[in-house]
Amino acid sequence: TLSDKLDLVFKKLRGQGVMTEENVKDALREVRLALLEADVNFKVVKEFVEKVRGRAVGTEVLQSLAPGQQVIKIVHDELVLLMGGGEDNSLDLAAKPPVAIMLVGLQGAGKTTSCGKLAKFLKAQRKKPLLVPADVYRPAAIEQLKVLGRQLDIEVFGSEATQKPLDICRAANHYATLNGFDVVIFDTAGRHQIDDYLMEELEGIRDELAPREILFVADAMTGQEAVNVATGFNDRLGITGVILTKLDGDAKGGAALSIKAVTGKPVKFVGLGEKLDALDVFHADRLVSRILGMGDVLTLIEKAQATMDEKEAVRLQDKMKKSGQFDLEDFRNQLQQIKKMGSLESIMNMIPGMGKAMKQMQGAQPSEKELKRIEAIIDSMTAKERANHTIINGSRRLRIAKGSGTSVQEVNQLLKRFSEAQKVVKQLQKMGPKGLLKGMKG
Ligand code: GDP
Ligand code: MG
């Protein structure tokens, strides 16, 4: 997998201060291959790799993260960014109803199916959608949408194959206004390739309807070619977003990345099957994991992020510097972070002081069950007690034990463990930030 390869590449790097051009080169070669394998357009790959290079070179090698993980994290974050992660990719329906949505794309991309899916999606949001067949060229195209409408119990406009598409759209729009529809979804014709005649027709419809959304329907299986087609449609029509269909197949989704990168238009939905409920709102991070194509990358990234909860570590560091304090509240926060992560052993060492502290305590590392118990005990304390454990006398111990369903003995044991941890943390603190970082490695 990519992560294995990167780990190998970066074995050499461990112990060095910053990532250099030279170190990063090998890693980026693997990244480039992975992206090309996922059918991302080569130009997009090239630009992307440059960007990651720019971000990675000169970055300090985090002591707590394997450099391979660090690069994956950068790659992942940049990909999510490129895919529009964090942006609002929802449908824009903010206009006076009926709001027009127009679906465009090549023949077989999944326009008609997506019209049905979208109508179902909107109906579930208590909208009243009207479906409008405007593909008069493909035999049975109108009937196809009517069948879908019947299945969904959603009205389909009575288009006739003998009508001109523009006339159909005009009449349907009028009908929708008179009959109180919220959204009108127009299913347009496609071709095997972009051609001028079709584009002119679509432009005419667009000018007539002034649709709020022009969604380009792209078949995820078309890979690299998708970019050219999307660009063609975007140049002529000014698309507002993309529906990426057939992601349930083998397609890795590189097409989506390329389309967004080249046209700047966001993917809004993905199609995940032929059935009418197989439509998902687009999630950038999911697609990115798919493109990176590794189950374990996600885990790695989570780990990386958990370590990035290093922010928490830094906060703790600051707090200790200021007040010389590490209290039960901090202790519990640390435990919660531990629980978020998988393997205890591997993670313990990343937490400031924890690696050493845990080893010095008897029983080395607590089990899941113990962790739960410890948390329950700390939860049963008052804020005051958490801030200063020395006030926890006999009667308080009894109360805490009762509150947490544990015994006084167990409360005692925790407090003993905690004061030991506190001592270690204080020692580390004396060493200063550098020492603390070393402490992270256990
Ligand atoms: P159009 O020519 O663009 O209107 O495409 P259609 O909606 O007629 O779809 C063409 C074919 O692709 C049909 O067989 C659909 O069932 C199929 N299809 C559409 N969307 C998806 C999808 O998300 N996944 C799968 N597996 N098939 C799809
Ligand atoms: Mg169709």
Among 90, 114, 117, 139, residue whose Cα is nearest residue 219 = 114
Q: In this predicted structure, what is the pLDDT of residue 166?
A: 96
Amino acid at 2: L
- Phi then psi for residue 131, to 5 deg, are -95, 135
Q: 354 C-alpha vs ligand 2 centroid, how far in Å?
A: 60
CATH architecture of 99-281: 3-Layer(aba) Sandwich (3.40)
117: its two tokens: 């899916």
Q: Which amino acid is at 119?
A: A
d(CA 107, ligand 2 centre) in Å: 7
DSSP track, 349-403: TTSTTHHHHHHHSTTSS--HHHHHHHHHHHHTS-HHHHH-GGG--HHHHHHHHHH
Please, what's the b/e burial string for 398-424 (b: 16 or more CB within 10 A of its CB; e: otherwise)? ebbbeebebeeebbebbbebbeebbeb
**Residue among 337, 243, 247 nearest 289 (CA):** 247
Q: What tokens appear for 69 in the block?
A: 């993980």
Q: Are 89 and 249 in contact (CB under 8 A)?
A: no
- Residue 110 in contact with ligand 1 by CB distance below 6 A: yes
Q: Say if residues 18 and 59 touch (Cβ distance below 8 Å).
A: yes
Rounded to 10 degrees, the C-alpha dihedral 185/191/193/195 comes to -90
For 2-86, which CATH superfamily applies?
A: SRP54, nucleotide-binding domain (1.20.120.140)
Collapsed DSSP state (helix, strand, coil) of residue 224: coil
Cβ(82)–Cβ(48) below 8 Å? yes
- Neighbour-count burial for 291-302, b at 16+ CB within 10 Å, e otherwise: bbbbeebeebbe
What ipTM goes with this model? 0.99
Ligand with an atom nearest the CA of residue 106: 1
Q: Residue 192: nearest ligand to its CA?
A: 1
CA dihedral angle for residue 226, residue 230, residue 233, residue 239, rounded to 10 degrees: 140
- Which residues on neighbouring strands pair with residue 241, listed in sequence order? 215
Ion ligand 2, residues whose Cβ is below 5 A away: 111-112, 141
Whole-number Å distance between alpha carbons of 317 and 298:
28
- The H or E element containing residue 7 is helix 2-11
Task: For ligand 1, say whether the CB of 271 is within 6 Å of any of its atoms.
Answer: yes
Cα–chain center distance at 183: 29
Strand order in the sheet with 213-219: 129-134, 183-188, 99-104, 213-219, 241-245, 267-271, 279-281
Q: Could you give the maximum distance between any two Cα atoms of the chain, in Å?
A: 90
Phi/psi for 31 (5° steps) reads: -65, -45
- Which residue's CA is the nearest one to ligand 1's atom 2? 108
Give the start-to-end residue ranges of the domains of the chain: 2-86, 99-281, 309-440
Q: How much distance in Å is there from the Cα of 94 to the middle of ligand 2? A: 27
Half-sphere exposure of 265 (CA within 13 A, CB side): 26
The length of the chain is 442
Write out the two tokens for 150: 């019947």
**Residue 136 pLDDT:** 93
Ligand 1 atom with minimal separation from the 249 CA: 26
Mutate to test the pocket of ligand 1, among 115, 193, 245 (most ligand atoms within 8 A of CB): 245
190 lines ligand 1 (CB under 6 A): yes
**Which of 91, 80, 39, 40 lies closest to 215 in space, CA to CA?**
91
d(CA 382, CA 174): 66
106 Cα: distance to centroid of ligand 2 (angstroms): 9
Nearby residues of 130 by Cβ (< 8 Å), 6 or more positions away: 98, 154, 155, 156, 157, 172, 175, 176, 179, 181, 183, 184, 185
CATH homologous superfamily of 309-440: Signal recognition particle, SRP54 subunit, M-domain (1.10.260.30)
Residue type, 127: K
User: How far does the centroid of ligand 2 lie from the alpha carbon of residue 285, in Å?
Assistant: 30
Ligand-binding site membership of 105 (annotated): yes
Kindly state the tokens that stand for 183: 């959204």
- Please classify residue 134 by burial: count the beta carbons closer than 10 Å to its beta carbon, then call 0-12 exposed, 13-18 middle and 19+ buried: buried
Q: Do 243 and 103 touch, CB atoms closer than 8 A?
A: yes
Spans of the chain, pLDDT less than 70: 1-20, 23, 60-70, 293-325, 334-368, 424-442
Q: Locate 124 and state its tokens.
A: 């579930």
Q: What is the model's pLDDT at position 433?
A: 44
Q: Is 178 annotated as a binding residue?
A: no
Nearest CA to ligand 1 atom 28: 274
How crowded is the C-beta side of 217, counted as CA atoms within 13 Å?
28
Contact by Cβ (8 Å): 23, 93:
no
Chain segment 199-234, per-residue pLDDT in tens? 999 999 999 999 999 999 999 888 778 888 999 999
